[in-house]
Amino acid sequence: MGNYLVFEINKMLVKQEMQAFLNSFPGNQHALVLKIFKPESNPDFRRVEAKEIIYKGRLYDILKESKQGHMVVFFCIQDKKEELLIAGFKKVQHHKTTLSLLHNLITQALPVDLSQYAELQGIDFNFPEKDQGLSLVYPGHFSPPPETA
C-alpha cells in the first residue's frame, strides 16, 4: 500500500514535469511522429490515458493526434522518466511477490506436522569420562618470520 502511494505521487510529479516541458515548447520541434495502422487491432499499441500511449513497450505523451483513414498519426514525446518510475515500481512489486510466495511455500505449501514428534522423549548418550584435562601446547619460542627479498 505504501509503495503504491509513493509511486502514484511520483507519477503525478513526473506528469506535471512533462506537462511543463510540453507547454514550454509549443511547436513540435521535439516531437516524434508515430504512424500506426489500425492501432485498435495492433498488439504493439495500447492507450493508457487520453494523452498517453504505449507503443512497442515505450511510453509516449501525445501532443497531437490525427486520423487519416485507417492510419492514426501521433505527434508525441517519449516519457523516459515515467518509464523508469514504472519499471522501478514493478521491480519492487516483483520482489514483494517473490517474498510472499516464498513465505506461503514455507508456511502453507510445506507444513510440518509436529504431532508425530510429540511422543519422542529424547535419546540418552553416554560419553566415557576422561581423567585427563586438556593441556595447552605452547612452544617455548617462535621462529622469526621469513625474510622477503
Tens of pLDDT, residues 132-144? 665 555 556 666 6
- In degrees and rounded to multiples of 5, residue 6 shows phi and psi of -60, -40
Going by C-beta distance under 8 Å and a sequence separation of 6 or more, which residues neighbour residue 3? Answer: 89, 92, 93, 96
Residue 60 domain-assigned? yes
Residue 42 domain-assigned? yes
Please report the pLDDT score of residue 135 as a whole number: 59
Confidence of residue 93 (pLDDT cuts 50, 70, 90): confident
Expressed as residue numbers, the domain containing 23 is: 2-85
Helices (H) and strands (E) in the chain, counts: 2, 5
Residue 73 domain-assigned? yes
Mean pLDDT to the nearest integer, 87-112: 72
Residue 145 domain-assigned? no
Residue 69 domain-assigned? yes
Residue 75 domain-assigned? yes
Looking at the structure of the chain, the number of domains it has is 1
What b-and-e string marks burial along 89-126, b requiring 16 or more CB atoms within 10 Å of the CB?
beeeeeeeeeeeeeeeeeeeeeeeeeeeeeeeeeeeee
Residue 56 domain-assigned? yes
Does residue 146 carry a pLDDT above 70? yes
Residue 20 domain-assigned? yes
Tens of pLDDT, residues 16-70? 777 777 666 655 567 888 999 999 899 999 998 888 898 998 988 888 889 999 9
The whole model's pTM is what? 0.50
